[in-house]
Structure 1
Amino acid sequence: MKCIPYSVLLKDLEIQNLWELEDLIIEAVYTNIIQVDFCIGHDIQKKDINNIVKTLHEWCDGYEAVLLGIEQQVLIANQYKENHNRTQQQVEAEVTNIKKTLKATTSSLAQEMERQLTEQEQPTKKMSKVKGLVSSCH
């Protein structure tokens, strides 16, 4: 592994502008002419590191708060779903019971009506014409 400082590259390549050097390096990396294993960003100053760390911690805290809110909403949604499913099962069970009751009631009514029709269809017994004895107590 070879480490070449920017100052050496600028001098040896006779490039006057840092941005031109970086553009050349980027193009060389993309075309696989060179491989970069490690580099230190020139945009960050040592004095900025504490502020960057603070900003990242704040971002993480905000992220955790949002994540906690989402987890709570998921719990509420799951609880709502469970309640809805339980209510739906109760309604379905009640509908099944009502259907059974109606079927049993309908069956009983049908049997009763059939019995009544059968009784009406049977010929009624004729009253015998028996003359009663008239008692005469004179």
Structure 2
Amino acid sequence: MGCDVYSDDWRVLTVEHKDSLPPLNPAQITKLKHLTLVSLAMEKRILPYSQLLDQLQMPTIRELEDLIIDAIYMDVIRGKLDQKAQQFEVEYTIGRDLEPGRIEALLTALQNWASTSSAILTTLDDRLTLLKQQAKTEKETLTAHDATVQRNLRDVQDKVREVRLSKNNPSGGPPLKSGPTAAGLALLEKQKEKEREAARQKELEKQKALGIDENVDMDVDEPGDGKGKSRLSSIKK
């Protein structure tokens, strides 16, 4: 029989060994109840008020909550009091010495935990390996797709270029050169007119320098006719 439950401890101390043991003072009784609370918290994480009232022999819920609060302040146990659900939710508790026969059960629990953890790690490793392989396959597929798109794009560009060349040269010979447009001809004529005007002004300046009357009308040959000089056409009267 263990001494983890307060009711059992109380019976042992107050009934079975009443004559051989001194009576417990309030501090000792409170400590015994705290240790019993720790033992119960090691078994379950949710402790109903009804169970605690019975095993700790607490007369009221208010006294039970005061006992739990004292244990929390002493850092014996940590948790949350749920008055609505009438239960104590355990978050942490100190450890206690194991009873005889509990070591084997503890070792079994630890072995089960180790086996479960190992199985989880193996599953995670397999999953990671699968994800890496999938990522590699997707990358290779994407690379091949990009290469195909670029190749098709080059083929389309080559075909467009061939179509344009065939339109410019339907006979299939070398590409034809197009002649000057109307706008180009007008620009050339305008340029020639400027050259003639410049030559006329130059000839007038030359005549002025030689002292020839301005009333003399000069015909200036166009540049590039091979004559290289002016001639008098008429003299204005």
Q: Scaled by the length of structure 1, what TM-score is found? A: 0.60
2:70 aligned residue: 28
Of 19-28 and 106-115, more deviation after overlay is shown by 19-28
Q: Which runs of 5+ in 1 are unaligned?
A: 1-5, 120-138
Secondary structure, in 3 states, of the residue corresponding to 1:116?
Answer: coil
Q: Pick one of 125, 129, 137 that aligns with 1:71.
A: 125
1:45 aligned residue: 99
Q: Report 1:121-132 matches (<5 A).
A: none
1:133 aligned residue: none
Higher RCO (CA 8 Å, separation ≥ 6 residues): 2
Structure 1 residues 104, 63: CA separation in 2 closer, same or farther (over 3 Å shift)?
same
| One-letter amino acid matched to 1:13 | P
Structure 1 residues 35, 70: CA separation in 2 closer, same or farther (over 3 Å shift)?
closer
Secondary structure, in 3 states, of the residue corresponding to 1:59?
Answer: helix
How far apart are the structure 1 equivalents of 2:94 and 2:120?
A: 34
Q: Report 1:1-138 matches (<5 A).
A: 11-13=24-26, 15=29, 19=33, 22=37, 26-30=68-72, 32=73, 34-36=74-76, 40-41=95-96, 44-116=98-170
| One-letter amino acid matched to 2:96 | G
Shift, 1:45, TM fit: 2.1
| One-letter amino acid matched to 1:109 | V
How far apart are the structure 1 equivalents of 2:166 and 2:111?
A: 82
Structure 1 residues 50, 104: CA separation in 2 closer, same or farther (over 3 Å shift)?
same
How far apart are the structure 2 equivalents of 1:39 and 1:49?
A: 17
- C-alpha RMSD over aligned residues: 3.5
Which deviations, in whole Å up to 9, do the C-alpha atoms of 1:10-49 show, x marking residues without a partner?
Answer: 9221749x5577455531143x3x355x95437x522011
How far apart are the structure 2 equivalents of 1:71 and 1:28?
A: 46
Q: Which runs of 5+ in 2 are unaligned?
A: 1-8, 14-22, 38-63, 77-92, 177-237
Of 44-53 and 67-76, more deviation after overlay is shown by 44-53
Q: Which structure has the larger Rg?
A: 2
More strand by share: 2
Structure 1 residues 112, 39: CA separation in 2 closer, same or farther (over 3 Å shift)?
closer
Shift, 1:84, TM fit: 0.9
How far apart are the structure 2 equivalents of 1:110 and 1:11?
A: 111
Q: What is the percent sequence identity of the aligned residues?
A: 13
